Structure formats: C-alpha cells, structure tokens
Amino acid sequence: MTNKLQIILGGVFLAAAAIALPLDAAHASEGGELKHVNWSFNGPFGTFDRAQLKRGFQVYREVCSACHSVKFMSYRNLSEAGGPEYTDAETKTIAATNKVMDGPDRDGEMFERPAEPKDRIVKPFPNDNAARAANNGALPPDLSLMTKARHDGPNYVYSILTGYADAPEGVVMADGMNYNHYFPGQQIAMPPPLSDDQVTYEDGAPATLDQMAQDVSAFLTWTAEPKLEDRHKLGLKVVLFLIVFAGLLFASYKRIWKDQH
C-alpha cells in the first residue's frame, strides 16, 4: 500500500472518530483535580440511564430550579426519546405545576396560565436584575449548557457539588464565599446546595448527597446534549460505512495497479 493511500485511509478513520466522540468545550479547571465517575453515557456507545435522568430532573426541580434556569429546554423535551422519557400525561402534569405569562387576550391584557408542554421550562426569576437582587448581587448561571461550557463537564459539576468543605488553615475567605476544593480559586458564592435526604426520590433510591450530585450531573449532561444517543448511533453507522468504504478502496487499488510495476 502506498503512503498516499495510507494517508487517505488514516484521514477517513480520524473523521469517523471526530463524529463518534464528544469534543471538549473549554480548558481545564483551575481548581483541584476533578473526581471521575463511570458515567453510563461515556464512550462512543454510551447511553443515558433513564431512571437517573428522572432522578436528576427531580433534584433540579426541587433544589436547583430555585436559582438556576435551563432556558433552552421545553417541558416537551422531557417526553422525547433519548431523555427522561416521561409519558405525555406526566409531562403535562409537570408543566401545569408552573405558571407562564400569555396574551394579550381580547381586552389586550396579559394573563397567567398553567404551563403547557410546548412552553420553555419556567425560569426562577423574570430577569437578571431580579436574580442578582435575590442572590446578594451574584447572578446564578443558566445550567442548560453547563456541562459543555466546562472541561470534563459532568465530572466538573459532580465535583463542585461534592467539593464543599471547611477552609484549610491559613486560607482567608472573602465575605459571603464558601470553600470548594474543585472550584477555580476555591471560593464560590453558592452555598452547598445538596445534603443527604434533601429529596425523596420517587423511585425509592437512597437520596445521599453523592447520589443526588451524580443524578443532577447526568441530567445536565442531557440538557446540554439531548441528541447524544443519536450522535453515538450515527457515529457507529459512519464508522461501519467507512470501514466498508476503505475495504472497497483498497480492493480497487489492488485491482487497478496489480499489473503495474
């Protein structure tokens, strides 16, 4: 096989790998070395654990949503394939527990109504100024793409949620800040959001801090990549196609040049 053909085939497989594997979205954290979890969605054939996504959504809904939005997600996404896969009836019930502004009505007035599956998941604050006012000037970030915006995102979120501790001796903490080993600079404005048995899981799983941190990290990975499973499936198909294509290319090369010296 000539060097040129080797280069072509090498490029083919590099292209397949680029499709099949996720890309890092940011540089490494300046905090401590992150903890690592063996996530079910890791690797080119990884899939989401549906039960874990439902638990993670419950943690988001009952804890995180008090401050953080997931502005790119709609309630209908919760029932779509590849996600938590709630039934349509369950999704309607979840949405209806929230109120959204609609209108104008016939009189030109805006009005509140129960949210519907088509609506975006309701944000905790109407605007950034209201969010800052409720959080001592700090603006809680939207979590929709958090695991894509941070290097090794799922492990970053999990590490932050489980990384709170008393400040080491000699470390001076700024007013209103909390020590977190994994946060860049080790000082974070957000107080520890999770504690053991903070929620009662609907599936009966033990609601330890560690379990809740893993579950909500998995859920936020899904909000950032709701089509992750489809991408993995497409990557596998492309790899198989390129393997066959490479075989045909090599066979053609051998046949065309077999009599050339």
Q: What is the pLDDT of residue 26?
A: 38
The token duo for 155 is 């492990």
Q: What is the pLDDT of residues 82-101, one digit of tens each?
A: 999 999 999 999 999 999 99
Q: 200-204, 234-238, 250-254: lowest mean pLDDT where?
A: 234-238
Q: What is the mean pLDDT of residues 122-138?
A: 94
Percent residues over pLDDT 70 in the chain: 87
Q: What is the mean pLDDT of residues 146-156?
A: 96
Nearest to 210 by CA among 164, 144, 147, 145: 164
Q: Please answer whether residues 103 and 111 qualify as being in contact, where contact means their C-beta atoms are separated by less than 8 angstroms.
A: yes
Nearest to 84 by CA among 109, 102, 63, 58: 58
* pLDDT surpasses 90 at 25: no
* pLDDT surpasses 60 at 159: yes
Q: What is the mean pLDDT of residues 214-227?
A: 97
pTM exceeding the 0.75 threshold for the entire prediction: yes
Q: What is the mean pLDDT of residues 136-143?
A: 93
Topology, domain 3-71+141-257: Cytochrome Bc1 Complex; Chain D, domain 2 (1.10.760)
Q: What is the mean pLDDT of residues 176-203?
A: 96
With cut-offs at 50, 70 and 90, classify the pLDDT of residue 11: very low
104 preceded by cis ω (within 30°)? Answer: yes
Q: What is the pLDDT of residue 235?
A: 74
Which residue has better confidence, 138 or 241?
Answer: 138
What is the DSSP annotation of 131-152? HHHHTTT--PPP-TTHHHHSTT
Q: What is the pLDDT of residue 240?
A: 82
For 19, phi then psi, to 5°, come to -75, -40
| Coil, helix or strand at residue 26 | coil
Which residue has better confidence, 243 or 56?
Answer: 56
Q: What is the mean pLDDT of residues 244-260?
A: 79
With cut-offs at 50, 70 and 90, classify the pLDDT of residue 120: very high
**Other Cβ atoms closer than 10 A to 42:** 14
Q: What is the pLDDT of residue 15?
A: 40
Q: What is the pLDDT of residue 30?
A: 63
Q: What is the pLDDT of residues 29-71, one digit of tens each?
A: 467 899 999 999 999 889 999 999 999 999 999 999 999 999 9
Percent residues over pLDDT 90 in the chain: 72
For 258, phi then psi, to 5°, come to -65, -30
- Cβ neighbours of residue 253 under 8 Å, at least 6 residues apart? 1, 5
